[in-house]
Structure 1
Amino acid sequence: MDRRQEILEAAAKSFSLFGYKATTMDQVAKIANVGKGTIYTFFANKEELFNAIVVKMIDEMRVEADKAALEGDSFEEKAHARLMHMLKFRETHLLYAKLIDEEKELRTPAVAEVLQEIEEAIVSYIEEKIKKAIANGEVKQCDTKLVAYLLFKSYLALVIDWNKTHDEELEEERIVTLISETIFKSLFS
């Protein structure tokens, strides 16, 4: 493994453990077992290092979401699998979870900005899949950006937010049925 990769892994570990605000370049250097100057040969500052890690995390999320979609499934089945996988990634990925917590607790501007970038990347990813489905004749013409946003926010609300205000957790099958009978129904009619 090269030095840059070692630094990225050490920084990801530090950001996951301590959050953005509490992570220092000294901590990253110590975890990576390099001098602080070595970090600065690859990254100008903490923000640049943080952004490199976030870009890598978004790529991981896209790869994992693509793996969740099975060949031969319909657009609707693939969309559901990908969206559920991305939301599970959001809950289980240590760095992502830490960023969400830090943004809620400390309102760190850099973290809020990165979470917005991640959301935009997810919506863009969904939009790409919708455009491909339109080109393949699986979905009728629509405003792909708005539909992608609607799908993401609907899944987010039903999978994550619902539990915060209701005693019962929604079963995945119930979410699938609801989204299928509302949003997807309008895309296929």
Structure 2
Amino acid sequence: MNEMEWDEPSIKLSFMLDHLPEEGCIQMTNHHTDERYMKIINTATEVFSMIGYKATTVDRIAKTAGISKGAIYLFFETKEEILIAVMDNYIREMIGKAEEAINGEGTPEDRLYRAIYACIMYRKNLCILDKLTLEAGQFGTVVSHNALNKFNNATIASVRQLLDKAVERDLVHIENTEVTAFALAHLYDALTAQWELHHEPLKDEVIFEMLRKVLM
């Protein structure tokens, strides 16, 4: 695991992927370069986002992708495995956004705040999470509940690891990074989903400044 050098360009945040279990990392194999594999992932993402996990079938994914069910079973044994791979793909995209932020312009502190914010706000406008939340609440779908937990835990774990690195470099002074990461993630949810139930949406810049004050 490489140590992060905050003032050097092209920082890689691969350490933030450490929390992903091996069985959930199918795309880390050579499969992720296979055109059929990526077509399955992209199509499944689209279908899950439209109708949720419960209503989705492997046959629906295959027909929408224009491939055979047999082709899907070359990569996945079950529909649940497909959802896991989709969530892992989102997690990697989230970390990619954080990497862009940490390698952007600004002071080390500013880049840190933006990387953390990139992780926390990545879930915004992800329709699949809304569908999974609805299913978990209305139908008690265990797979949907587990997928949501996977994404939420990955978000918090990624923010915590960023905070740990920042504490090591004396960029922030936090006694408990786990609690802080948890609080930041849930504060964002409160300032968006919960706030917007009865108020006009807050601008991203306003939310960013509020979250940053937690770390100051």
> TM-score of the superposition, structure 2-length normalised?
0.73
For 1:138, the aligned partner's letter is L
Aligned length: 182
| TM-align CA RMSD | 2.4
Offset at residue 157 of structure 1 (A):
1.2
- Tell me what 2:199 maps to: 167
Q: For residues 69-80 of structure 1, what are the structure 2 equivalents within 5 Å?
A: 69=102, 70-75=104-109, 77-80=110-113
Tell whether 2:177 aligns with 1:130: no
Within a 5 Å distance, the mapping from 1:55-94 to structure 2 comes to: 55-69=88-102, 70-75=104-109, 77-86=110-119, 88-94=121-127
Residue deviations 1:29-78, cap 9 Å, x none?
Answer: 11122221221121111111111111011111111233244343343x34
Residues 125, 163 of structure 1: alpha-carbon distance in 2 compared, 3 angstrom cutoff: same
Which secondary structure state, in structure 1, belongs to the residue aligned with residue 122 of structure 2? helix
Extract unaligned runs of 5+ from structure 1: none
Counterparts of 1:112-131 in structure 2 under 5 Å? 112-131=145-164
| 1:3 match: secondary structure | helix
Identity %: 30
For 1:40-59, list aligned pairs within 5 A: 40-59=73-92
Equivalent of residue 129 in structure 2, options 91, 96, 120: 96
Distance of aligned partners of 1:106 and 1:84 in 2 relative to their CA distance in 1, 3 Å threshold: farther
| SS at 2:123 equivalent | helix
Instruction: Answer yes or no: is the 8 Å Cα contact 1:90–1:97 preserved in 2.
Output: no
* Runs of 5+ unmatched residues, structure 2: 1-33
Q: Distance in 2 between matches of 1:58 and 1:88?
A: 12
1:154 alignment partner in structure 2: 187
Question: Higher helix proportion, which one?
Answer: 1
Paired residue for 1:7, among 40, 55, 80?
40
